[in-house]
Every structure is written in structure tokens, then in C-alpha cells.
Chains A and B, each alone.
Chain A
Amino acid sequence: MTITIALQLLIAGLSVGSIYALVALALVIPFKASSILNFAQGELVTVGAYAALVLTALALPYWVVLPVTILIGFVVGLFIERAMIRRIMAAPEFTLVIATFAIGLIIKSAIRLYWQDNLFTIDNPLPFGSFRVAGVVLNPQYLWVIFCTTMLVVCLAWFFKFNPLGKAMRAVSQSQEAARLMGVSVERVLMISWGISSAIGALGGILLAPIIGINPEVGHLVLKALVAAVIGGFTSLPGAVVGGLLLGLIETYSGAFFGSTAKNILPFVVLVVFLLVRPYGLFGRAPLVRI
């Protein structure tokens, strides 16, 4: 393996890993706040992709489409929490898991109903194509994904550390009761955390659109994001990022060395290993159980 190829794979792995990290973040944020794992997260990515499609078809420029797509994702997330999730907050775990799956399937089949299984795409948003640096072919789309994800992580870090709403969300993640006593509107925080996670998902959708296209099965990548979240630990935001990047790299390198079958199987083998050996991931912590 030459250095050139190794670097090439590194960029590809980080790029794929960035998407995994992004969607993993979208999974972990509402989980930390509400202890609910949103299995419909993949479909929220799909929503972002199709929103970008529609907006682009309206001849709007990319620098308008991007923020509006994110906004649409945000609103969809608010809606889902308010209209559906809130009603079942206190339900047993089975209900919560299956309900989010059901929501995902509703979204996917609704999209499929209108757009069928046609594969769409939107154009490369960047004005230049691939270029070479020291023999390594760099695809600017991949770099754009890595850049956007990095920006997202920085924004989130700032948000949770300095923004009052972000701090309120951290309080709610630690203890809903304590947060309530401190005057935080827990309901509002939960709703917004779902909105944020949905917005992040939508961002993922529009970032992916020019690379893998737009079709109803885009959300399938949530499975990989789930693996990333398990690796990182469901209660850790930095863990989600690390998990995502790690998974992207593992996938890309194993695909190069061992072929596509290994590449497809490996994430799930890793998932099972973690579930058995270290279910709370590299950075997560076990919840306290009282009898």
C-alpha cells in the first residue's frame, strides 16, 4: 500500500466517517435529553435530501438551500416531538423503540409514494472539481463534508458550553427533575433537542445528496450511525464523533484490504462485539439502577 493510496483512503474514510459522526450526533442529542433513541433518524436525513431537491428545483442557489433545508429539518423535528413523541414519553421501552421505527417508515413510504424509487441528485455545490495534491486525488465534496461536520461540532461545542439554551439542555440531560426545579421548561428543551437533532440529520442529507444521490433508501445509513453511537457511547457527544470517524476509517480500510463483503459485514460485527463486551461504548457510562 503506497502512501498515496493510504492518504486517499484516509480522506475517504474521514469523509464517510464525518457523515456517520454527524448522524450519530443527531442520535445522541435527543437520547441524552429524553433517553429515547430515535430510530427514524435515518429518514430525517432523507427528508433533508429531498428538501434540498425541491428547493434546488425552485432554482434557488445553494447558499440559500443549505440553511433552509436545515431549518426544514428543525421544524420537522419539533413537530415529531410535539405531536407524537410527547404522547408516549412515559411508555415502556418497546413502545418507544417501535414507535420511532414506525415514524421512520411513515416518512419513508410517504416520500416513496410521491417520488417513487427514482434516483435524483443535486449538483456539486462547489465551483471546482477534483484536484490533485501530492499525487492524492482530492474530491472537494468530501472535503466539504468534513468541513461542514467540523463546523457543526465546533458550533455544538460552543452551544452547549456558552449558550443558555445549550446549558439548559445539558441540565435536562443530567436530571429532568433538577432542571425543572431550576426553572427550566423541560418540555420546551426536549422539543428543541429533537428539533436540533433533526436539523443535523437534514444537514447530513443535503451534504450526501450530491455524493450518493437522493432516493427513499438514503436513511439506511442510520444503521451505521447507530453502530458509531454504540462505539462512542450513547451518552457521549464527543464519543459520537469519535465513533463515527473510527467507523468510517475501519470501513474504508477494511474494504480496501478485504473486499466489499468484509466491508459490509464488519460494522455489524463490531456492533455485536461492543454490545456484548462494552455496551456503553468507549465514552459512555452505565445508567444507575435502583431496585
Chain B
Amino acid sequence: MKQNQQTVWMILALLIAAGIAPWVLPTYYLYLLNLILINIILALGLNVLTGNSGQISLCHSSFMAIGAYTYTLLNNHSQLPMLLCVLVAVLLASVGGILVGYPARRLSGIYLALATLAFLSLTQILIEEFPDLTGGIRGLKIEPSEFLGWSMGNETMLFYIVAIACGFCLYITANMMRSRIGRAFDAIRTSPHAAQALGIQVAQVKLVAFTISAAYAGLAGALFSMVVGFIDPVEFGVSASLRYITFIVVGGMGSIAGSVIGAVVFTGLPEALRGIKEYGDLVYSAILLLSLIFMPNGLVGLLRARKSKPNASTVGH
């Protein structure tokens, strides 16, 4: 099985690269790599919900916010060890996912979009209305702490934490897509009627999709706080959600490769456009729009089309 061997070699190469990265890369590039890995986690989570399960969601950044604020507040104000802070952050973000996913069971299309928009607005308002807790629009700083005796500021250790988290997310996403729940996700997107007729409980699967994607976002949020050291609520608004949607639309919806490509390209892009940072949102949204119109299957779709020979036209569904 040539494909499996290729994958094994690739994973090995990545592991080695990850292993030596902190010693080889200068600080700034390591920081960038951390951001890329965090964005991969975000993209993977969003792809589960939107790419695979077909649910429109504008509040992915809100789940990230829950994770970020929970981690930071626990880190700053409690004696809980780092891993536990992260775990609670992920759990609370998942609860957020359930809060949205449960009522969203019966919603779809624009109504679903509006419900997620409502959740986003509510979290934004709550962040601003309780500045004593959240730092309001001025943001929140992460207090220094340590993990296993190493300071959390140690960039080598920070990188390994982020890399392991990302690797773990890639692993469970791959498992998901190969098993019953992953197939159910694709089924409810492609043809909810057929899925239902085959005994799949569409509402329940939607709820699971929301919860899992929120958990990913929560993890990403916690890691983001660690890496950046400061939370700015502007990171958790509609334009942030659109940015993550851009990752998967341009990278490729519903595929792990798409998530990775999208995250890599769009984390690297602002850096390539350094000096014209204000163009950030404009470039993102323009690329997003162009992709939606001209490249709906994303870069992954483009690559796949190039690879396979043109097939006889088929009648799908």
C-alpha cells in the first residue's frame, strides 16, 4: 500500500522537523510556526462542523474566546496546574458548543447563521460588559506561570506543547473521518433525508459536530493565550470567524489537507504582506470572495482535479 507508506514517511519527517525546530529556527519564526499550528487546530475544528457536517457557523471565534479567557483567568487567579487549566478551557468551550448546537438542531441555512451570529454577539457583549473579569476591550494579560518546572515563557517547551496538541488534533480528526461519526457528518451534509432514512439521528450528529468543533476552538484559544501572552477581544469578532472560514474555503472544505493548507497559507500571508498590515482584512475578504466564486472546492480540490484524469460525466445526487 504505497499511500500508507508515503503517509508514514511524511509523518516521520514532520516529527523530526518538529523535534529540531526550536533549535534551528529563530524566535520569530518559531512564534509564527506556533500560530500556524494553532490555526491548523482552528481550521480542523471548523472543518468538522462546516466542511464535513455542512453547518454554517459564524461563532467559531467565540468558542476560541471561551477557551482563551477560561485558560487565562484560571492561570492568573488559581493555583491549578497548566494542563488542568487547558482541560477546563476545552470543557467550557465544549459547553458553549452544546449551548449553540442544541437549539441549532432544527435550524439550517440563514437561520442557523443568525443563531450563531447571536451567540457571537452575546459573547462579545459579555466580554465588554464585565471588564473587571475579562479586561473588557483593553484585553487581558497572561501572568507568568510554569509547567513541570519550566517557565511557560520557555519557547522550546511552548513549541512542544503546541506541536503535541496540534499533532493530537490531527490524529483524532483522522480517526474521526475514518469511522462511524465522520461518515455520519458527511452524510447529514450531503443528504439529510437519506441519512435520516438510514437511521442516523441528524439532530444528534449536528450537536456532536458543534461540540467537537467548539472543543478544538477552545483548545486553540488556550494555546493562543499561552503563545501570545495577551488576549485582545478584537480577535474574537465576526472578522475573525470569517478568517477561519477563509482557511477552510480556500484550503478545501471537509478535508484535513485543506485545513492544513488553508492555515499555513493564511498565517504566512500576513507576514508576507508585512508593512501593509492594514490591508489584512481587505485581502482576506477579497480572497474569500474570489474563492467562493471561482474555486469552491478550495486548493485541495484544485490539486485533486489536476492529479486525476478527467472522468466521464456522472450523475450524482
Q: Which A residues lie at the B interface, using CB under 8 A?
A: 37, 39, 84, 87-88, 91, 93-95, 97-99, 101-103, 105-106, 108-110, 112-113, 223, 226, 230, 234, 261, 264-265, 268-269, 271-272, 275-276, 279, 291
A-B contact count, CB below 8 Å?
Answer: 98
CA gap between A95 and B248 in the complex, in Å? 12
Identity of the chain B residue whose Cβ is nearest the Cβ of A260 in the assembled complex = B129
Give Cα A110–Cα B285 distance, bound, in whole angstroms: 11
Question: Closest 5 CB pairs between A and B?
Answer: A105-B285, A109-B281, A109-B282, A102-B289, A268-B118
Which residues in window 200-251 of B have CB below 8 A to A?
238-239, 242, 245, 249
Known A37-B110, A93-B56, A226-B117; judge A99-B292 contact (CB<8 A).
Answer: yes
Q: Chain B: interface residue count, which band?
A: 35 or more
Contacts of A108 in B (CB 8 A): 281
Mind listing 28 A-B residue pairs with CB under 8 Å?
A: A91-B296, A97-B113, A98-B245, A98-B288, A99-B289, A101-B238, A101-B242, A102-B285, A102-B286, A102-B288, A105-B284, A106-B282, A106-B286, A106-B289, A109-B280, A109-B281, A110-B282, A223-B121, A226-B117, A234-B110, A261-B129, A268-B122, A268-B125, A269-B122, A271-B115, A272-B118, A275-B114, A291-B193
CB neighbours (8 Å) of B107 from chain A are 275, 279
Q: A88-B292, A265-B125, A271-B114 are in contact. Are A102 and B103 (CB under 8 A)?
A: no
Partner of B56 from the list A97, A113, A272, A276 (CB cut-off 8 Å) is A97
Measuring CB to CB, which residues of chain B are less than 8 angstroms from any residue of chain A? 50, 54, 56, 58, 103, 106-111, 113-115, 117-118, 121-122, 125, 129, 193, 238-239, 242, 245, 249, 278-282, 284-286, 288-289, 292-293, 296
Query: CB distance B129 to A87 under 8 Å?
Result: no
Nearest CB to that of B122 among chain A residues?
A: A268
Chain A, residue nearest B104 (CB)? A275
In the complex, which residues of chain B have a beta carbon less than 8 angstroms from the beta carbon of A99?
Answer: 289, 292-293
A84 vs B288: C-alpha distance when bound (angstroms): 12
Chain A residues lying within 8 Å of B103, measured Cβ to Cβ, are 272, 275-276
B278 with A98: CB separation less than 8 A? no
A103 & B289 in contact (Cβ 8 Å cutoff):
yes
List the B side residues contacting A271 at CB < 8 Å. Answer: 114-115, 118
On whether the beta carbons of B293 and A97 are closer than 8 Å, the reply is no
Q: Are B282 and A95 in contact (CB under 8 A)?
A: no
In-complex Cβ contact of B54 among A94, A110, A234 (8 A)? A94
Contacts of B292 in A (CB 8 A): 88, 91, 95, 98-99, 102
List chain A residues, Cβ under 8 A from B249: 98
Q: Which chain B residue has the least Cβ–Cβ distance from A31?
A: B110
Contacts of A98 in B (CB 8 A): 56, 242, 245, 249, 288, 292
Alpha-carbon separation in the docked complex, A95 to B193 (Å): 21
Partner of B114, one of A88, A91, A109, A226: A226
Residues in chain A near residue B293, CB distance under 8 A: 84, 87-88, 99
- The residue in chain B whose Cβ has the minimal distance to the Cβ of A87 is B293
The answer to whether A264 and B289 have CB atoms under 8 Å apart is no
* Interface contacts beyond A102-B286, A108-B281: sample of 14 additional A-B pairs, CB < 8 Å, sorted by A: A93-B108, A98-B249, A98-B288, A102-B285, A102-B292, A106-B286, A109-B281, A113-B278, A223-B121, A234-B110, A265-B122, A265-B125, A275-B107, A279-B111
Most B Cβ at <10 Å: residue of A94, A108, A112, A223: A94
Determine the residue in chain A with the shortest Cβ distance to B115: A275
Are the C-beta atoms of A102 and B242 separated by less than 8 Å? yes
Cα distance A65–B108 in the bound complex, in angstroms: 41
Give the Cβ gap from A250 to chain B, nearest Cβ, in Å. 15
Are B125 and A105 in contact, CB atoms less than 8 angstroms apart? no
CB B203 to nearest CB in A, in angstroms, measures: 13
| A94–B112 CA distance with the chains assembled, in angstroms | 10
Docked CA distance A102–B285 (Å): 5
How long is the Cα–Cα vector from A87 to B291 in the complex, in angstroms? Answer: 12
Check A264 against B111 for contact (C-beta < 8 Å): no
State how many angstroms separate the Cβ of B290 from the closest Cβ of chain A: 9
A271 to B112, CA, bound (A): 11
Closest-by-CB residue of A relative to B128 is: A264
Give the residues in chain B near A226, CB-CB below 8 Å: 114, 117
CA distance A93 to B50 in the complex (A): 12
